[in-house]
Amino acid sequence: MRRVTLILVSAVLLMVITFIGLHIAWRIKSPKTLNIYILDKSVTHSDRPEHKSLIWALNHLRIVGPDGRPYNHLTDYWGFFPIDVKQQLFDIKTIRLNEIDAYASVYDAAYYTDCYGVYSYEWYKSNTPTANASKIYGGLNQNDYLFLKRMKELNKLIIGEYNMFSSPTNALIRSKTEEIFNLTWTGWSGKFFSNLNSETGYGLAEWMVKLYEQQHLKPWPKQGSGIILLSNDGLIEILTDETDLKSTKVKLLAGEAMKKWPIAPKDVNYTGWFDIVAPRIEAEVMAKFRLDVTPKGEEKLKSIGLTPDFPAVIKAKPDRPIYYFAGDFSDNPVNMCCSKLAGGKGLNKWLVNQNGKGDFFNNFYIPLINQLINSYQATGN
């Protein structure tokens, strides 16, 4: 018994010493200061999953705020703040019109991680999700747009992400924001689902099934996997495995410019939500999504005005540090205790079930954020 106790104590001491050593190794790297305005309107859980992995990446890369402290995913953002989920108490932190110029002069960068918002069925937990659930808070508004516009005028770093343009954002704000990012939103979004059976709880909403059956006048394909495509106008299409897809994996492919970066993002499979946008003149497609479709699948895409390849990362103009991520890039499962450790990426992947997002987070997202910040701080674009 004494021998077992000694082994257990030794193992715990070894783990503590290893943890401390990895933390010291992480601290050796000099911190970089960047004052980032992070906007997240879709916070329905106290853990802030829609921007938590961004904070993880900033901490791991030793990016600190103007006070020299690491960013905190619970407090260092703007948008929706859940106070007491059981009591439905919340707060909203937003910039007023007369504050835009002042805040734009103070912040170095703006990152809009999620603008969709919070709906009644998510917050009150009493209603079944529907296609027309009532909004509590959300959508890109006039002040959000004006803040980006002022940041652009000051040549600050701007990053926008999936869900900026869809409802509940109105058409006028969407159009003006598209100009900032130098792209056009097609109105379509999509996601890979490993199981199309809505009864198994794989994230499928019942309204998707009803919408499909109403529009296509045939049963929902309950077997196998596939990619569901939704339009802002209420249309729905499905690419099913074998029939429409050679492979159900959504490929995320780094462009030639990315491959020349000191730490280059790798080609990975992508499992999150994406939206389909088109670049305008002078915009640079830095990375793209690819759907591995059969001839039948390609025809199905063509019938709704889409192609198998479409942008994943767009830079607005060569001389502007303005980027759009056409995917839900900052929503990744992470364990914050690993963010301040050398080798924390591997430990995080081991500790957290990342549902296929581990390779994307470690090999694409973190190198992408690292390069964009380094490039901005070094050259201004």
- For 336, phi then psi, to 5°, come to -65, -25
Percent of the chain with pLDDT over 90: 66
3-state SS assignment for residue 199:
helix
What is the pLDDT averaged over residues 256-270? 95
What is the tens place of the pLDDT at every residue in 146-163? 999 999 999 999 999 998
pLDDT at 242: 83
| pLDDT for residue 86 is more than 90 | no
Identify the band that residue 327 occupies on the pLDDT scale cut at 50, 70 and 90: very high
pLDDT at 95: 95
| Amino acid at position 177, single letter | T
Both tokens of 5, joined, read 């106790």
Both tokens of 14, joined, read 């070894």
pLDDT at 301: 97
pLDDT at 373: 97
Pairwise CA distance, residues 35 & 376, whole Å = 13
Pairwise CA distance, residues 68 & 59, whole Å = 12
What is the pLDDT averaged over residues 122-133? 56
What is the tens place of the pLDDT at every residue in 183-222? 999 999 999 998 888 776 566 888 899 999 999 999 998 7
- Between 100 and 350, whose confidence is greater? 100
Helices (H), the chain: 2-28, 49-60, 100-106, 120-123, 142-153, 171-181, 206-216, 256-259, 295-303, 344-351, 358-360, 366-379
Identify the band that residue 263 occupies on the pLDDT scale cut at 50, 70 and 90: very high
pLDDT at 353: 67
What is the tens place of the pLDDT at every residue in 1-32? 666 566 666 555 666 676 676 768 788 888 99
3-state SS assignment for residue 336:
helix
What is the pLDDT averaged over residues 108-124? 85
What is the pLDDT averaged over residues 321-333? 96
Both tokens of 177, joined, read 């924001």
